[in-house]
Amino acid sequence: MDLSLLLILIHDLSSVSIRLATIALIPRWHSPSVAMAWLLVIFFWPIPGLVLYLVFGSFKLPTQRAERHEKILKDLDRTCCAAWEGERPEEKDLPGDLLRLSRLASLAEKLGDMPPTRGNTIDIIDSTDDMVRSLASDIDTARHHVNLLYYIFSKDQVTGPVFDALERAAARGVSCRLLVDSLGSRQFLKRDAP
C-alpha cells in the first residue's frame, strides 16, 4: 500500500471517529448553544477542532447547572417527603406476602426517587381490548381531570371507546387532556386531531 494512501486512510478514519465521539460526548457537558458551536468547529475541522476543544473546552458540568440540579433535587425531596409523610409503611407492619416484596419496593424507590405508597393496585392486562375497556371505564369514573400521554396514538375502531369516554367526561365538566408525540402519532395529528 502506498504511504500517501495509508495517510489518507488514517486521516479519514480519525476524522470520522473524532466526529462520532464528540457528537456523543460534548452535549453532556455544555449548554445546547455552546455544544452546537463546538460540534460545528469539530465537524468542519476535526483534528484541529479537537485540539482546540481539548485546550479551551471544559469537561465539567457548568457550576450554575450543577447548583440548579442540586436545588431541584432538594426541593423535590422536601416536597415529596412532606406529601408522603405517613404513607410509607414500616417493614414490620407489612404482611408476610408483602414483606418479600420490600426489596423490590426499595429498588423502585432508589430508581424512581419516589417511595411506593399505600392504596395502589396493579392489574396485568394482556389484551388491547381489555386495556381499552379499562381505560374507558376509568375515564367514565373521573371527577376532576383526565390526562393521557401516548407516544403512538390513533383514532380507530379499537380506540373508539376511549374517545367516546373522553367526550362524555368533557360533557360532565371533567378537564380532559391528550398529549401525543408528533412523530409516533403523526397520522393521528394529521387526520383526526382538532
Using a 10 angstrom Cβ sphere, with 0-12 exposed, 13-18 middle and 19 or more buried, the burial of residue 115 is middle
50 and 68: one domain? Answer: no
Whether the Cβ atoms of residue 174 and residue 146 lie closer than 8 Å to each other: yes
- Domain extent at residue 31: 3-56
85 and 70: one domain? Answer: yes
Q: Is the pLDDT of residue 168 over 90?
A: yes
11 and 42: one domain? Answer: yes
Residue 119 resides in a domain: no
**Torsion from C-alpha of 11, 16, 19, 24, nearest 10 degrees:** -140
Whether the Cβ atoms of residue 116 and residue 108 lie closer than 8 Å to each other: yes
Question: d(Cα 23, Cα 40) in Å, to the nearest integer?
Answer: 10
Taking the alpha carbons of 69, 74, 79, 84 in that order, is the dihedral positive or negative?
Answer: positive
Tens-place pLDDT, residues 2-49: 888 888 888 889 889 999 888 888 887 777 888 899 999 999 999 899
**Whole-model pTM?**
0.47
Per DSSP, 92 falls in state G
Tens-place pLDDT, residues 169-190: 999 999 999 998 888 888 888 8
Q: Is the pLDDT of residue 120 over 90?
A: no
H/E element holding 128? helix 128-140
Residue 120 resides in a domain: no
Higher-confidence position of 162 and 182 = 162
Residue 79 resides in a domain: yes
Give pLDDT, residue 123. Answer: 75
72 and 49: one domain? Answer: no
Q: Is the pLDDT of residue 138 over 80?
A: yes
Averaged pLDDT of the chain: 81
Among residues 48, 82, 112, the one where a domain terminates is 112
One-letter identity of residue 131: M
Query: What share of the chain in percent tops pLDDT 90?
Result: 21
Higher-confidence position of 142 and 33 = 142
Cα 114–chain centre separation: 16
